[in-house]
Amino acid sequence: MRVLIAPDCYGDSLTAVEAAQSIAAGWSQARPSDVLTLAPQSDGGPGFVGVLASRLGEVRRARVCGPLADEVHAEWVYDGVTKTAYIECAQACGLALLGGPPTPDTAVAAHSRGVGQLVGAALDAGADTIVVGLGGSSCTDGGRGLIEALGGLAQAREKLTGVDLIVATDVEHPLLGPMGAARIFGPQKGAEPATVELLEQRMTAWAAELDALAGDPVSPLSGAGAAGGLGAALLALGGRRESGAAVIAEYTALADDIAAADVIVTGEGRFDDQSLHGKVVSALAGGARARGVPVLVLAGQVTLEPAVLVEAGITAAHAIADYAGSVQAAMDDAANQLTGLARKTAAGLAG
**CATH assignment at residue 166:** 3.90.1510.10
Residue 191 or residue 270, greater confidence: 191
* CA separation for the pair 66, 3 (Å, rounded): 39
* Ranges of H-type helices in 172-316: 193-214, 226-236, 244-251, 254-260, 280-289, 306-312
* CA separation for the pair 228, 134 (Å, rounded): 9
The verdict on 104 and 13 lying in the same domain is no
Cβ pair 8, 42 in contact under 8 A? yes
The verdict on 261 and 177 lying in the same domain is no
Confidence of residue 315 (pLDDT cuts 50, 70, 90): very high
Q: Beginning with the edge strand found earlier in the chain, give each strand of the sheet holding 2-5 in spatial order.
A: 35-38, 2-5, 263-266, 295-299, 316-319
CB-CB neighbours of 289 under 10 Å: 13
Domain total in the chain = 2
Which of 214, 245, 276 is the last residue in one of the domains? Answer: 245
Cβ pair 91, 49 in contact under 8 A? yes
* CA separation for the pair 262, 245 (Å, rounded): 21
The verdict on 8 and 104 lying in the same domain is no
- Which pLDDT belongs to residue 351? 63
Percent of the chain exceeding pLDDT 90 equals 79
Cβ pair 159, 250 in contact under 8 A? no
Domain span at 187? 48-245
Which of 245, 264, 288 is the last residue in one of the domains? Answer: 245
Q: Which helix (H) or strand (E) holds 240?
A: strand 240-242
The verdict on 11 and 76 lying in the same domain is no
Strand residue runs (E) in the chain:
2-5, 35-38, 58-65, 71-79, 84-88, 129-133, 164-168, 240-242, 263-266, 270-271, 295-299, 301-302, 316-319
The verdict on 115 and 207 lying in the same domain is yes
The verdict on 171 and 315 lying in the same domain is no
- Which pLDDT belongs to residue 105? 98
Confidence of residue 282 (pLDDT cuts 50, 70, 90): confident
pLDDT at 283 over 70: yes
> Which whole number is the average pLDDT over 103-110?
98
Which of 188, 219, 245 is the last residue in one of the domains? Answer: 245
- Which pLDDT belongs to residue 277? 67
